[in-house]
Amino acid sequence: MKRLLLFAFSVLAIGACGPTLKVSHDVSSHADFSRYQTYAIYHPAGSKSPLSQLNVNRIDNAIISQMNAKGYTMTADTGSADLLVNPVTIAKQGQNVTANTDYYGYGGFYRPYYWGGGMGMMSSTTSYSVDKYVDGSLIIDVIDRNKRELLWQGIGNSQIDGPVKDPDTKIPEAVAKIMASLPRKM
């Protein structure tokens, strides 16, 4: 569990190193983004993040940068903002299991029956390899504050294989990739 939390801080930096960041998004069919002017970063009370406060700040700053670039204006008051932007991080441990059958020391390519069937006794061993990894996701929700309705959601997901060397650069790059499809303010 400690390893899971250690790697969870890099959930956003997965876009620029190691396995690729898989990004998807969804937008409400009746969302009219021209009606919205302001936004606030929203962290629901009681929600706990597996990330350090430094990385929470990096995520928030990257979101602020992307929202400002799209023409929205930030307000600190979640009670008066048109949009609430809620970042959520999830990290869970996964594993891959692979098997390799070894025939006479020649791996899976040599099969004795290719030369006329079971010539003598066949010797084989099967070895299994278990690789553990952390599957990390960053979900960014954009919500209409008045209606409490989800308007847009972007998700970045990747396997995390270690701590990030430059989170100040990698986290903003990953957030930019996730938020690329968010409509601009009209």
Is pLDDT above 90 for 7? no
Tally the residues of the chain: 186
Is pLDDT above 60 for 173? yes
Q: What's the pLDDT at 113?
A: 53
Map residue 83 onto helix, strand or coil. Answer: strand
- Which secondary structure element, helix H or strand E, spans residue 27, and what is its range? strand 22-27
Residues 122-131: tens digit of each pLDDT: 556 777 777 7
Q: What's the pLDDT at 28?
A: 94
Domain spans of the chain, in order of start? 2-179
Is pLDDT above 70 for 170? yes
CB 177 within 8 A of CB 19: no
* 115 vs 67: which has the higher pLDDT: 67
Sheet with strand 83-103: strands edge to edge: 22-27, 149-160, 124-144, 83-103, 38-41, 73-74
Residues 108-161: tens digit of each pLDDT: 555 555 554 444 455 567 777 777 767 788 999 999 999 999 999 999 998 776
Residues 31-43: tens digit of each pLDDT: 999 999 999 999 8
167 closest CA partner among 1, 11, 3? 11
Q: What is the CATH number of domain 2-179?
A: 3.30.160.670
Q: What's the pLDDT at 12?
A: 40
